[in-house]
Amino acid sequence: MTMTRAEAQDPDVPRPAARYRVALRHGDQVFVAGMTPREGDHLLAVGRVGTEIDVGTARELAGVAAARSLAAAASCRVAGERLVPLSMTVYVSTVDPTIAISEVADGASDRLVEATGSLPVRAAVAVAGLPGGAPVEVSLVVGVVPEGGARG
């Protein structure tokens, strides 16, 4: 598995768990792979929302996954640029169709607003399972603009 220069140099940049890149810049956009709530290589929780994980905890974990997504995206920018979240998909592992997946996804949205001042468009999707048994996963697309440039 080949890491980018930023991944190799910065221990805070998420590392791929398999054969993929965590972030890829194309022009003024960065596409970020799905990020689960981890600290280093350690998954913070395992289980499905509404079964082993409650909605409040899942919301916090979605915030952690969103922060990891921003860290991955930041590895693709250079000095004088800032990130503007454009689109986010939050996957919530659950078998309960009544779970408030939008409330879980709000944890990721809140983290992006805190970090960037900008709120992206968003989809929240219930799924039967995620890598490693993670309760949530966040996939993000960000724009890269000059510091002081347009806000999203």
Confirm whether 128 is domain-assigned: yes
13-52 confidence digits (pLDDT tens): 888 777 889 999 999 999 999 999 999 889 999 999 999 9
pTM: 0.89
Q: Rounded mean pLDDT of 84-102?
A: 96
Confirm whether 117 is domain-assigned: yes
Confirm whether 97 is domain-assigned: yes
| Percent of the chain's residues with pLDDT above 70 | 89
Q: Spell out a b/e string for 77-94, using b for 16 or more CB atoms within 10 Å of the CB, else e.
A: beeeebbbbeebbbbbbb
Closest to 38 in 3D by CA, of 56, 19, 22, 51:
22
Quick one: pLDDT at residue 13?
80
Three-state secondary-structure class, residue 121: strand
Q: Which position has the higher pLDDT, 133 or 1?
A: 133
Closest to 73 in 3D by CA, of 142, 146, 145:
142
Confirm whether 70 is domain-assigned: yes
Lowest-confidence pick of 8-12, 31-35, 96-100: 8-12
Compute how many other C-beta atoms are within 10 angstroms of the C-beta atom of residue 62.
31
- The CATH code of the domain that includes 95 is 3.30.1330.40
Confirm whether 58 is domain-assigned: yes
The length of the chain in residues reads 152
Position 12 pLDDT exceeds 90: no
CB-based contacts of 6, cutoff 8 Å, min separation 6: 13, 75, 76
Domain count, the chain: 1
Q: Which domain holds residue 77?
A: 18-146
Confirm whether 5 is domain-assigned: no
Position 5 pLDDT exceeds 80: no
Position 1 pLDDT exceeds 70: no
Confirm whether 2 is domain-assigned: no
Looking at residue 79, the DSSP 8-state letter turns out to be T
Confirm whether 135 is domain-assigned: yes
Query: What would the two tokens of residue 10 be?
Result: 């910065």
Q: Rounded mean pLDDT of 124-130?
A: 97
